[in-house]
Amino acid sequence: MRQSRASTIGAYVVLGVLALVFLVPFYVMIRNAFSTSSWISSPTWHLLPNNWGSANFARLLANTNVGIIQALGVSAVIAVIQTVLTLLIAAMAGYALARLAPTGRGPMRRAGSVVLGLTLGTLMVPSTVTFIPSFVMVAGLGWISSFRGLIVPLLFSAFAVFLYRQYFTGFPVELEEAARLDGAGYWRTFWRVVMPNSIGITGAIGTITFIGAWNAFLWPLLIGQDRSYRTVQVALSTFMTSQGVDVPELFTGGLVAVIPVVLVFVVLQRFLVEGVERSGIG
């Protein structure tokens, strides 16, 4: 695509300004976490923190009562397992809805639309209230304070299925047909041809799933009643609502909540980016 020098420079300028604006909240978090309370609330805005050596971090990490380190481990396990399984389940279902919906005249001919409708339907139901019957049900199954209870009910993501379905809908048929010509069945085609060429969307959906699992609060709060099943968000809420926590400590807690995910993201980022680039097959 040919474009003028000026428009490229213009793009850089706009992107530069926007990027700066987008980074401001992170800057604020860091500045506040490493400043004293009075520094933050003084009438003149201090650009730099004044308490770099803040012991807040060390104190938070060492606080055995909050148990951040263990909670980080629990959250990591849950987030990883939940992400991997959700992706598997959603990719298969999305592919089925995009490619394998039954056609023809049999009684199954509407199956695809029905399942798609069911899927979209659940997207539209807010879970503010429905989580209570969910909880009672899961409690009835005896899954309180277990990884099963923490993970399994959350594996069935209509959102992921929908995104996969939309994506597979536009997936180049030629690749699949080539595989068919080579004699591969649906299963093989899916795992050997389709998925390896869908790294971009998988990366995007996986990232969002991971983040959602990491940031979840209410479900882990209700299910993870035992200390050893406490996730990072629940543990942090302990810290951030404790007596005498001041603004710098609040932001320290915020950083602890955010940094692990950002790190994971930065690491996986190349994977995601390459995938997105590569999925541009015409």
Partner 1 sequence: MQAQAVERSLTGERAVTSGRRRVVGGRTFWFWVFVAPFLAGLLTFVYVPIVWSGYLSLFDARNTVTPRPDQFVGFGNYVSLLTDKAFLTSLGTFMVFTVVIVPLTYAFSLGLALLLQRIRVARTFFRSVFFIPTAVSYVIAAMIWRLSLFNGARFGMVNTIVRSLGGTAVGWLSGDTPVYWVVLVSLRLWLQSGFYMILFIAGLNRIGQDMYEAAALDGATGWKLFRHITWPQLASTTAAIVLLLVISAFQAFDEFYNTLATIGGYPPFARPPLVYLYLISLGGGSQNLGLGSAGTMILTLVIVVFGVVQLVGTRRLEAKR
Partner 2 sequence: MTHHAPLGGRGISRRGLLAASTGIAATAVLSACGTNSGLSSSSSSSSVGKANLSQWYHEYGEDGVQAAVTKYAAAYPKASVSVKWTTGDYEKAVSAALLTQTVPDVFEYANGPTADMILAGEVLDLTDVLGSAKSQFNASIITPRIFRDKIWAIPQTIDMQMLYYRKSLFDKAGLQPPTTFAALVDAAAKLTTKDVGGFYAGSDSGVGVLGLLLLWAAGFNSISSDGKNVDFDDPAFYSALAAYKAFRDGTGLLRNASAEWYDAAPFINGEAAMQWTGLWALPKVKAALGDDFGVAAFPAIGSAGKPAVAAGAYGACVAAKGTDPDAAKAFVKWLWVDQEDDQVEFSTAFGTHIPAKPALAAKATPLASGAGAAAAKLVADNGHVPDIRWTTAIGTAYSSALTNIIVKGADPKTELAAVVSTAKTELAKLA
Residue 8 binds to partner 2 (criterion: CB under 8 A)? no
Instruction: Determine which residue in the list 193, 234, 255, 261 makes contact with partner 2, applying CB under 8 A.
Output: 234
Rounded alpha-carbon distances, angstroms, from residue 237 to 215, 229, 230, 257? 12, 15, 11, 10
Residues 30-59, mask of contacts with partner 2 (x by CB under 8 A): -------xx-xx------------------
| Among positions 34, 190, 219, 239, the unique one binding partner 1 when judged by CB under 8 A | 190
60 binds partner 1 (CB under 8 A): no
Any contact of residue 218 with partner 2 (CB under 8 A)?
yes
Query: For residues 124-183, which are near partner 2 according to CB under 8 A?
Result: 125-128, 130-132, 134-136, 139-140, 144, 153-160
Q: Which of residues 76-95 bind partner 1 (CB under 8 A)?
A: 88-90, 92-93, 95
Select from partner 2, partner 1, none the partner in contact with residue 235, using the beta carbon and a kind-dependent cut-off of 5 to 8 Å: partner 2
Q: Is 61 in the site for partner 1 (CB under 8 A)?
A: no
82 binds partner 2 (CB under 8 A): yes
How far apart CA 196 and CA 202 sit, in angstroms, is 10
Compute how many other C-beta atoms are within 10 angstroms of the C-beta atom of residue 90.
26
**Long-range contacts of range 115-124, CB-CB < 8 Å, 24 or more positions apart?**
116/165, 119/93, 119/158, 119/161, 119/162, 119/165, 120/158, 120/162, 122/158, 123/158, 123/159, 123/162
Interface mask (CB under 8 A) for partner 1, residues 165-184, using x and -?
Answer: xxxxxx--x--xx-------
Query: Binding residue for partner 2 (CB under 8 A) from 222, 232, 255, 272?
Result: 222
Minimum CB distance to partner 1, residue 60 (Å): 15
Check: CB of residue 63 under 8 Å from CB of residue 242. Answer: no
Gap between the Cα atoms of 3 and 250, Å rounded: 47
Our CB check for partner 2 shows the closer of 242 and 269 to be 242
Output 189 or 206, the one with its CB closest to partner 2: 206
Distance CA 71, CA 73 (A): 5
- What is the longest distance spanned by two Cα atoms in the chain? 74
Q: How far apart are CA 248 and CA 262, in angstroms?
A: 20
**How far, in Å, CA of 226 to CA of 221, rounded?**
10
Show the binding pattern over residues 15-54: x = contacts partner 1 (CB under 8 A), - = does not.
Answer: x--xx--xxxxx-xx--x-------xxxxxx---------
38 binds, among partner 2, partner 1, none (CB under 5 to 8 A by kind): partner 2
Contact positions with partner 2 (CB under 8 A) in 95-124: 122-123
| Separation CA 35–CA 146 (nearest Å) | 39
Q: Which stretch binds partner 1 (CB under 8 A): 51-59, 71-79, 219-227, 254-262?
A: 254-262
Q: Are 212 and 233 in contact (CB under 8 A)?
A: no
